[in-house]
A and B are shown apart, each in its own frame.
Chain A
Amino acid sequence: DAGITQSPRHKVTETGTPVTLRCHQTENHRYMYWYRQDPGHGLRLIHYSYGVKDTDKGEVSDGYSVSRSKTEDFLLTLESATSSQTSVYFCAISVQPEAYEQYFGPGTRLTVT
């Protein structure tokens, strides 16, 4: 257990509304990641962070923004949700440079109607 929580765990929202997902970790790891998981695609990287206010885009970043104002929190925002953003969202941390493997939170299932 890497001390990662995600909130909410489930959310249903309407097209066009803003949505923010939260990832919280308790062990002050620098590196945090957001992925989405869709059938037939495995997991794909949305955004990642190497530290407070230090973020970068991943493979599928369009339509998403992130913020990291504290080490322990990494927020993912959908400014105007679309049906194509219906997915399961996973947060992950890694303990680089001490170790390189990533540990995942429990996931958030988001449905955009």
Chain B
Amino acid sequence: LAKTTQPISMDSYEGQEVNITCSHNNIATNDYITWYQQFPSQGPRFIIQGYKTKVTNEVASLFIPADRKSSTLSLPRVSLSDTAVYYCLVGEPGANNLFFGTGTRLTVIP
């Protein structure tokens, strides 16, 4: 079971790029890396998923080094509305043994 480790909290000023790193030393060959965002009083929302190298969508980028033991979620030019908790998950599609963890609380400061 691949568990993840993330910083508990981070602060950033508006307009800056934010990088949140997740460690997953026990990642298995078939595991994918997925990030979710959760705003207060809402359920988590899928942001991005990747297997290796780099994935980019309209919201974020995901960087995964060759050994895949960590990953970095990059949020470009954050705004106040990006204040949320960000969760990193690792698991095999179709599997049902996964650990959500406590996430990283990002606070964007004006």
| A interacts with B | no
B interface with A by C-beta (< 8 Å): none
